[in-house]
Structure 1
Amino acid sequence: MSGKASGRRTWETVAPIFSRAKVKTKVIVTERAGHAFDVMTSAANNELKSYNGVIAVGGDGFFNEILNGFLLSRHKAPYPPSPSDIVHSDQRSGNSLFRNPNGRVTEATCQNEDHSPLLSNSVYNGTGLANFRTEDGTCNIGQDFEFPLPSEQFRFGIIPAGSTDAIVMCTTGTRDPITSALNIVLGKKVCLDIAQVVRWKTTTASDIEPYVRYAASFAGYGFYGDVIAESEKYRWMGPKRYDYAGTKVFLRRCSYEAEVAYIETESEEANPTVEKGQLFSRLRKRQGPKKSERVVCRTNCGVCNSKSDYMSKRSPCSTPFSSSGTRWLRSKGKFLSVGAAIISNRNERAPDGLVADAHLSDGFLHLLMIRDCPHALYLWHLTQLAKKGGQPLNFEFVEHHKTPAFTFTSFGKQSVWNLDGELFHAHQLSAQVFRGLVSLFASGPEV
């Protein structure tokens, strides 16, 4: 439980529900930043197995702290490729695509197309770090982990007491502590995708030193990172600090030069922007996506409970990039923001979230790249986010790609990211999603 006053008050409200349901609890009140992380890291697996789960009474950042403390010492998986791995593979195989700033996609050329697959199958990647891949691209880590993931019995729960509580909004449909407590005592279960984010370099001059963090809702750069950095100065304002910091950052209007690479999926192959160029893209953007095309995540979601064609081609412990035929697309230019939504991120400021049809457990990230544009157009985009039924992705300067993994390289001096509401400095990073890696005491939103 978060040691803040809101966390204590919230627990006092819901504690009688656990008592009446005869659910035994062990309450730990955090006393400092990082306390919850240390508790989860130091907990023995045998001790954790004696519990049905861990409940976070706090916000998204507090849950992120608990999640990272749990996964960093227990989740064994190969790293995603670094940006330099993608560049070297492009030079060998020639099967990547490059999206230049005017919106068109051109194919990289190479005279020899009979080289090895996109990524090397050796047990070391371009940085000299072991990546645990076998010759068929799958993971060679043993299946009998001391604490198996995903776990059928062990679950996480969140009782909202934070500033935004986007994860609770997406998994229960409401920001209500009592609803969350009832989901826990009733033993509800929903699987949740988790993104593994690997920072390769902190600054341009840094040595390559991989540092891993996990995110359950969102990873954002540019505007998103600047807002969270600015808001840290005004924590005394409470949730209002985000509105104040967001206004200041918007008025500064900073754009950043960067390059993003992401895995092409079947939806990208059928993307008319790639096939017919910028003119068709303009027509499609003006018409906008039909609301009926949105398949919003709900209780007993058919998308989350089924395997997509892309996911069915992967073995259970393979990474998104380990299958043969994987192709990477690259986009380079000046961006106002780059974000990866793991879930829709519904909250009180964005009732439909960043991506209305993002799902809790479909094995994909929604990569959002906002290119540099006039101030008025960017404001229009932001107002669409704040409106129920808005169309924030229906702009020419917005790129939206559904992908299981991406890499990022900044060409600026500073690079600040927002991971589930927490600051993360990274000049180069990679991210990959693991489908249904953890389970929550929830059943999905009903509305």
Structure 2
Amino acid sequence: MNFQESCLCYQTFKIDRKINSRLILSSNIHSTDSGTSLEVVHVVEKKTKLKIEKIQCEASESQCNETHKAIEQSMKDKRPKSLLVFINPRSGNRGAEKIYQRKVLPIFQMCGVKTNEYVTSRPNEVRDRLLNTNLNTYDGVVAVGGDGIYNEVLSALLDREMKNSGLDPNDPDSRLVQLKLPIGIIPAGSGNYTAWYLNGTKCPKTAAIRIVMGDCVATNVASLHQGNRCAGYSSLILGFGLFGDVMRDCEKYRWMGTSRFKVIPVGTVLSRRPVNVIISYVPAKSGDNNSNAENRVTAPKQQFHRQISVPVFNTKKARVTFQKRTVSSSANFGAASEWRTADERVVYAVDTYPITMKPKGTKMAPHFGEDSLKLRITQKCKLMDHIRQLKEVDDGKSTCYDFDFVRTISVERYRVRILNKEMQDFFVNCDGEVICLDGPEIIVSLHRRVVQLYGSPN
């Protein structure tokens, strides 16, 4: 039994196999009167789902000690040792706490990961705790529930970093600061799309194993502003128009559980409403292309830079403004001359996906950390054509956006101004949460790779 070429090699009369050291979770030495053995807990990869397996191999005491030390050394800096966990007991069918206790916590304990759990009981509890907790003792934060609680954790951490950096999150021109701690997601909610994109499955055990293994992928965030107020952050979907109305209607029937997402949208689509808008955008720079593999990391790295300029006037206000700046708005989002106006005036939907869906064979596949946002504008069209297009989106077909009435633009930033004279309620679907607009204009901006997520997309 030896440890070489990044593989643990077993050769006994019962076992003859190699195990990739990256998939080993823990090892323990067992000494008895009959001899010494090494128990290794490792991961078996079966398509998208992962399974934990234990192997006990007999060997001499010196061999066991040598292999055990080699395994510990290989896992020394990579794996999280302490996690802060937030559980939303109302997620999905109200089974998040049970899923965590029965399926996830045993995996953390088996791998020697210390956890500090909070079961939320009120709105904004996640935010209050994250803004006032010393995070220096933790290696990561875990959200147990649906996409909603992940968004809560993400938003609180982003606001915390902005505050610590002396930046105003309500300023539309502020650049988000990269988070220092990775975020893990245990799927236990209604949608669980982010966890699905990360791991190829909605299995909570697989998500827990991915967190323990420590691999991370960098992902983008889109900020949503109304006037001088940050209305929210999105890492999954920002949908104005039809998708905002769909989520508004689904919220009225939460008692239906996950089945509401199959029933309620039908009525919303049949009663779709056109919106008169002006859409402006800053186009992505030509040549923006990003390899998904380049975003896989094992530890967060700072990817933001400070741009320095000299204040024009030597006043207190100028000095304060100078101290708070990190990157100028023109450098971030384009000068006024770079803004373009879309031809579309009457639309059914304006949507953005920070996790970009791209064709892969006959299906769409998620890509993390792309260098641009895909702005999709759905123009006026026949109802049956629209239903057919939405059905392809739901089925994940690679042709779901290849329709004449759907326009896709790669952008860094965009704004939507509503021109309807009548006072109506308009909504935005922000990662499954409904935001009711309080003004006629929204601004959406891309922030590249500011978050590290525990996971390993295929």
TM-score range, shorter chain: 0.5 to 0.7
Match of residue 213 from structure 1: 232
Equivalent-residue separation in structure 2 for 1:23 and 1:215 (angstroms): 29
Superposed, 1:248-267 pairs within 5 Å as 248-267=267-286
Match of residue 328 from structure 1: 339
Question: Residues 268 and 335 (structure 1 numbering): CA distance in 2 closer, same or farther, change over 3 Å?
Answer: farther
Contact 2:305 2:327 in 1 (8 A): no
Question: Residues 261 and 438 (structure 1 numbering): CA distance in 2 closer, same or farther, change over 3 Å?
Answer: same
Q: Choose the corresponding residue for 1:165, options 192, 195, 199.
A: 192
Question: Residues 150 and 398 (structure 1 numbering): CA distance in 2 closer, same or farther, change over 3 Å?
Answer: same
Question: Residues 245 and 439 (structure 1 numbering): CA distance in 2 closer, same or farther, change over 3 Å?
Answer: same
Instruction: Compute the displacement of 1:317 (Å).
Output: 4.3
Equivalent-residue separation in structure 2 for 1:11 and 1:164 (angstroms): 17
Superposed, 1:3-402 pairs within 5 Å as 3-4=89-90, 5-12=94-101, 13-43=103-133, 47-75=134-162, 149-151=177-179, 154-200=181-227, 209-267=228-286, 301-302=293-294, 317=327, 321-322=332-333, 327-331=338-342, 332-344=344-356, 356=364, 359-402=367-410
Equivalent-residue separation in structure 2 for 1:16 and 1:404 (angstroms): 43
Q: Where is the strand percentage greater, Structure 1 or Structure 2?
A: 2
- Kindly provide the amino acid, as one letter, of the partner of residue 61 in structure 1: G
Contact 1:218 1:345 in 2 (8 A): no
1:74 partner SS: helix
1:197 partner SS: strand
Question: Residues 314 and 370 (structure 1 numbering): CA distance in 2 closer, same or farther, change over 3 Å?
Answer: farther
Equivalent-residue separation in structure 2 for 1:188 and 1:376 (angstroms): 44
Task: Tell me the TM-score normalised to structure 1 length.
Answer: 0.67
Match of residue 58 from structure 2: none
Contact 1:170 1:345 in 2 (8 A): no
Instruction: Compute the displacement of 1:324 (Å).
Output: 6.0
Q: Choose the corresponding residue for 1:428, options 441, 448, 452.
A: 441
2:367 partner SS: coil
Question: Residues 372 and 150 (structure 1 numbering): CA distance in 2 closer, same or farther, change over 3 Å?
Answer: same
After superposition, the C-alpha distances for 1:204-238 in whole angstroms (9 at most, x for unaligned) are xxxxx423421111100111000110011110111
- Kindly provide the amino acid, as one letter, of the partner of residue 415 in structure 1: F
- Kindly provide the amino acid, as one letter, of the partner of residue 59 in structure 1: G
Aligned length: 333
Instruction: Compute the displacement of 1:441 (Å).
Output: 1.2
Q: Give RMSD over aligned pairs.
A: 3.2
1:386 partner SS: helix
Q: Choose the corresponding residue for 1:415, options 418, 426, 435.
A: 426
Task: List gaps (5 residues or longer) in structure 2.
Answer: 1-86, 298-302, 308-325
Question: Residues 375 and 304 (structure 1 numbering): CA distance in 2 closer, same or farther, change over 3 Å?
Answer: farther
Contact 1:79 1:198 in 2 (8 A): no
- Kindly provide the amino acid, as one letter, of the partner of residue 156 in structure 1: I
Instruction: Compute the displacement of 1:405 (Å).
Output: 0.9
- Kindly provide the amino acid, as one letter, of the partner of residue 150 in structure 2: F
Specify the structure having the higher radius of gyration (Cα): 2
- Kindly provide the amino acid, as one letter, of the partner of residue 409 in structure 2: H
Question: Residues 73 and 326 (structure 1 numbering): CA distance in 2 closer, same or farther, change over 3 Å?
Answer: farther
After superposition, the C-alpha distances for 1:28-77 in whole angstroms (9 at most, x for unaligned) are 0011233222222332xxx1121011100001011111111221232255
Instruction: Compute the displacement of 1:362 (Å).
Output: 2.0
Equivalent-residue separation in structure 2 for 1:49 and 1:261 (angstroms): 42
Match of residue 284 from structure 1: none
Instruction: Compute the displacement of 1:356 (Å).
Output: 3.4
2:191 partner SS: coil
Identity %: 25
- Kindly provide the amino acid, as one letter, of the partner of residue 355 in structure 2: I
Q: 1:438 aligned to 2:446?
A: no
1:49 partner SS: coil
- Kindly provide the amino acid, as one letter, of the partner of residue 250 in structure 1: V
Equivalent-residue separation in structure 2 for 1:65 and 1:418 (angstroms): 14
Instruction: Compute the displacement of 1:264 (Å).
Output: 1.7
Equivalent-residue separation in structure 1 for 2:372 and 2:109 (angstroms): 39
After superposition, the C-alpha distances for 1:393-413 in whole angstroms (9 at most, x for unaligned) are 111111101111111111233
Contact 2:356 2:367 in 1 (8 A): yes
2:249 partner SS: helix
Question: Residues 297 and 268 (structure 1 numbering): CA distance in 2 closer, same or farther, change over 3 Å?
Answer: closer
Question: Residues 397 and 199 (structure 1 numbering): CA distance in 2 closer, same or farther, change over 3 Å?
Answer: same
Question: Residues 33 and 221 (structure 1 numbering): CA distance in 2 closer, same or farther, change over 3 Å?
Answer: same
Task: Tell me the TM-score normalised to structure 2 length.
Answer: 0.66
Contact 1:263 1:403 in 2 (8 A): yes
Equivalent-residue separation in structure 2 for 1:358 and 1:325 (angstroms): 32
Equivalent-residue separation in structure 2 for 1:314 and 1:395 (angstroms): 42
Q: Of the two structures, which has the highest relative contact order with CA contacts closer than 8 Å and spacing of 6 or more?
A: 1
Task: List gaps (5 residues or longer) in structure 1.
Answer: 83-130, 133-138, 140-147, 201-208, 270-294, 306-310
Equivalent-residue separation in structure 2 for 1:36 and 1:414 (angstroms): 28
Contact 2:290 2:371 in 1 (8 A): no
Contact 1:258 1:334 in 2 (8 A): yes
Equivalent-residue separation in structure 2 for 1:79 and 1:30 (angstroms): 25
Question: Residues 168 and 392 (structure 1 numbering): CA distance in 2 closer, same or farther, change over 3 Å?
Answer: same
